[in-house]
Structure 1
Amino acid sequence: MENFDVVVIGGGPGGYVAAIRAAQLGKKTALIEKEHLGGICLNWGCIPTKALLKSAELYQKMKHAEEFGISASNIEFDITKIVARSRDVSTKLVGGIKALLKKNKVTVIEGTAKLEGPGQILVNDKDKISAKNIIIATGARARNLPGFEANGKNIWNYRQALVPDNVPKSMIIVGSGAIGIEFASFYNALGSDVTVLEAADRILPVEDSEISAMAKKAFEAKGIKFKIGVKLEGQKSSAKGVSVTFDYNGKRESLESEILLMAVGIVGNVENIGLEKTKVIIEKGHIVANSMMQTAESGIFAIGDVAGAPWLAHKASHEGIIAAEFIAGKKPHAITKTNIPGCTYSSPQIASVGLTEEAAKAAGYQMKIGRFPFYANGKALILGDSDGLIKTIFDAKTGELLGAHMIGAEVTELIGGYVVAKEMEGTELDLMNTIFPHPTLSEMMHESVLQAYGKQIHI
């Protein structure tokens, strides 16, 4: 039986990063992965969805090439080639992960893992290995609603939505979180008649309500339809498609479409890994872990989606580093969850970090709020993307940046600037005294801060 200092179960963005960092710190490390290195994120999530969205964005840009003085006719797309490109991007990155693991001398074991108790792991139901420390990074899967389970034909989850054989003429999407909105944006751009059903009282419910409202208006202008405050009742599938019935504003309604896409969240992969033989605590389908990612069982850690919200790849990777460094006797900083950015790669993009205006108000803060619109920025006009807003929220007493919320072109790239400011406990003076390059979209970050304090120049 081979012995390791650290064994990581799951090779997603949390697991492979944890394995690499543990190995870098001198620990004999193994990584067990049953399917794909890179996990859901790289193979069926973050990476391929963004590749699809980039193709859709380019298609739309080419259709409006006349606005840039360029003539283009007979603009068409090939969904097979779009999908193939997205898969190719994922494949290249998987190869890169394999090389990194080899470079760092991580032992990669293909197969399933099951805990046989603290420090004991059964691989592929036959081979035993031992580990002083175990990091569980088994991720999560799409949540199924009873009666609305994906069948791969006319009821899809994200996996089927990533590899379509053709673009459906119509689509109902249940859920308006990041996944639902990204697929709504993609299929709408390629010509599908898309309707989004949302149970909450607004779309993108975790975002600032002002940004949420702007997003709904922008998506509706592109032809996406929304029904908010919906309570699902049932569905009937046929050879032609799906009919969905639901309660909407107290009335029973039904919609028909070729495809029903379910995007209603995820469930942690906590089953069939032997947790019942440990002291690990599971709550609401996720493993309970402390700020150093330790579970209730000594020597067992949990990171990423299986350890709870927010379900984001970058959060998983950071947790992997925390766990590895803690195991190695270092003193890593715990994550401040309000400093974790969230991004939606739709068109327009949405990005945020920190407290929303509603949350800051509920927490009792007196606020100074700044706003700057895209239409007043030179680079946005150059790009032909003049719709959008950057909103910043400050503590009126201390000047601390409490939150930043954006909608518009490339805001998923811009948000990193505010994330750095929040992590460094920056104030309005730090941001005001920062010189942003011209002409760039990032200048709006400066102007939004200035506007919060009545010092704006360009609006």
Structure 2
Amino acid sequence: MDYDVIIIGGGPGGYIAAERLAHAGKKVCVAEQDTVGGTCLNVGCIPTKSLLNSAKLYRHALESEKFGVSVQGVSANWETMQAWKAQTVTTLVGGVLQLLKRGKVDVRNAHASLVGPGKVRVGDEELSCEHVIVATGSVPVMPPIPGAQDNPAVVDSTGLLEISELPKRLVIIGGGVIGVEFASIFGALGTEVHVIEMLPEIVPFMDDELGSLLRSAIPGVTFHLGCQVTEIKGSTVVFSDPEGKTNTLEADVVLMAVGRKPATEGWGANEAGLELDRRGVRVDDTMRTNLPNVWAVGDVTGRSLLAHAAYRMGEIAAAHIIDGAKAKADGQVLREECIPWAVYSLPEAAGVGLTEAQLADQGIEPVTVTVPLVLSGRFVAENGVKEPGAVKLIAEAKSRVIRGIHMVGNYAPETIWGAAATLEQELSIDDLRQVIFPHPTVSEGIREAAWAIAD
């Protein structure tokens, strides 16, 4: 046997599993045909956050005078921003490779295919192992809109990250996380941005009340809700509005940001007999597939297309491979309802758990409260009283157990882990009221919500 574990894919789920397994003394091989780090590190989370930070600094410089700081000659240099983005990605990819090297993980830059349980073809070589972890990630969805295919004006998120100059006009098809983050970047930098979303509100997994707040708070962006793109003629986007009227928008660049789908093709899933469902590779809550000793983690499962969810899935699979009995006793399973999400827009947003509507749909009477972040001293000190921000807490009316916490406002993504822990531990409103929050912090908005909710 060549390895204890072979991992197909070197993205977040794959490399974190490799690190955990190597630390436990397992002989591990990671096969990645592109660059270790996957979509998140190379063409997703990290490069967009680098550009968002530049856009944020530019916006802060323009608005700094109200805080007593005068700045002359503020300008945005796209070429320098791109260089900073590239430097950030290169540094972090190098860090991942160093961690894998330290664990003596065999990293192979080659295409890999699952032959069957214990058998993986890496490049031209067939390797054997005790366990296989599939971590092939996801790919952008390209809907069959007439005129979108082979159109140089239409790009996906990867293509938009590589443009050589700022567009004057950008049309984004899709108001999910990807679309909203790119809208924030380019809107802050002065591009005329239009977002076309077919649903009645942006970021569909957000509570509608806070989704509306976030949308109204993003500067320099026009949103077209309940609209459907029917055709793209060169750089002209044709779409129908909720009344059925046809509208057009001219663009220098059109971003297709309608989402991503699990990468289930091209690596032998069907040939090996791996079971797929409507979401992706079918797994149980311990990441096991239908094939013995074959596991799947991350986007390819369709359980959650978020990098931190992939981390957790990789850790769960690794724990069961290392010591299944201990992992079971420790309760090492995926709890999807406790996976937090974050939108790094301007302003930011984050949340975990159910929305008010989702809880009601389960036949459970909700009790909710929404409090403004102007109740947080730090939020006001850094943003003023006009900057939008709020926390919404959603609980079961009868049991008072907290089922969801959603936030809009800067620092929300840095705060939401505490909300995730609240849901993990199934804390009630009274439990949360006993938690001591540091002062002054934006996180205190959660405490204020716990005390403001009706008894």
TM-score relative to the length of structure 1 = 0.94
In structure 2, distance between residues paired with 1:325 and 1:218: 42
Equivalent residue of 1:335, what SS? Answer: coil
Question: 1:227 corresponds to which residue?
Answer: 224
Q: How does 1:363-378 map to 2 (within 5 A)?
A: 363-378=362-377
Query: C-alpha distance in 2, partners of 1:151/1:312?
Result: 29
Partner-residue secondary structure (3-state), 1:392: strand
SS in 2 for 1:99: helix
Match of 1:43 in 2: 42
Give the CA RMSD over aligned residues.
Answer: 1.5
Give the secondary-structure state (helix, strand or coil) at the position aligned to 2:196. Answer: strand
2:277 maps to a residue whose letter is: E
Pairing partner for 2:239 from 231, 234, 246: 246
Matches within 5 A, 1:33-432: 33-124=32-123, 126-146=124-144, 147=146, 149=148, 153-219=152-218, 222-237=219-234, 242-248=235-241, 249-284=243-278, 286-330=280-324, 331=327, 332-384=331-383, 386-432=387-433
The residue type paired with residue 208 of structure 2 is S
Once the 2 structures are TM-superposed, how far is the Cα of residue 150 of structure 1 from its aligned partner?
Answer: 6.3
Could you tell me how far 1:153 is from its partner in structure 2? 3.5
Query: Helix, strand or coil: the match of 1:282?
Result: coil
- Return the offset for 1:441: 1.1
Q: Deviations over 1:28-56 (max 9, x none)?
A: 11111111111110011111111110110
Asked if 2 retains the 8 angstrom alpha-carbon contact of 1:352 and 1:415, the reply is yes
SS at match of 1:235: strand
Contact 1:282 1:288 in 2 (8 A): yes
Structure 2 equivalent of residue 441 of structure 1: 442
Per-residue Cα deviation, 1:60-85 (whole angstroms, up to 9, x for no partner): 00001111111111100110111111
What CA deviation, in whole Å up to 9, does each residue of 1:194-233 have, x standing for no partner?
A: 11001112111111000111112212xx231111111221
Q: C-alpha distance in 2, partners of 1:256/1:309?
A: 37
Counterpart Cα distance in 2 of 1:148 and 1:135: 39
Aligned-partner Cα distance in 1 for 2:414–2:147: 35
Could you list the structure 1 runs, at least 4 aligned residues long, displaced by more than 4 angstroms after superposition: 148-152
2:4–2:27: 8 Å Cα contact kept in structure 1?
yes
Asked whether the 8 Å contact 1:25–1:325 carries over to 2, the reply is no
Structure 1 CA distance for aligned equivalents of residues 63 and 211 of structure 2 = 26
- Deviation digits for residues 228-263 of structure 1, max 9, x if unmatched? 1112211111xxxx1111221211222111111000
Aligned residue type for 1:324: A
Gaps of 5+ in 2: none
Distance 1:20 1:233, change over 3 A: same
Superposition TM-score, scaled by structure 2 size? 0.95
Match of 2:24 in 1: 25
Alignment: residue pair count? 446
More deviation, 161-170/378-387: 378-387
- The alpha carbon displacement at 1:152 in A equals 7.8
Asked if the contact 2:279/2:301 (under 8 Å) is kept, the reply is no
SS in 1 for 2:159: helix
- Give 3-state SS (helix, strand or coil) of 2:452's partner: helix
C-alpha separation in 1, matches of 2:22 and 2:99 = 11
**Letter aligned with residue 143 of structure 1:** V
Quote the sequence identity (%): 35
Distance 1:19 1:170 in 2: 43
Letter in structure 2 aligned against 1:404? I
Cα deviation digits, residues 132-163 of structure 1 (max 9, x gap): 11101010111111235465842111012212
Query: Is contact 2:148-2:232 (8 Å) kept?
Result: no
Kindly provide the amino acid, as one letter, of the partner of residue 226 in structure 1.
Answer: F
The SS at the match of 2:364 is: coil
CA–CA separation in structure 1 for the residues paired with 2:100 and 2:150: 36
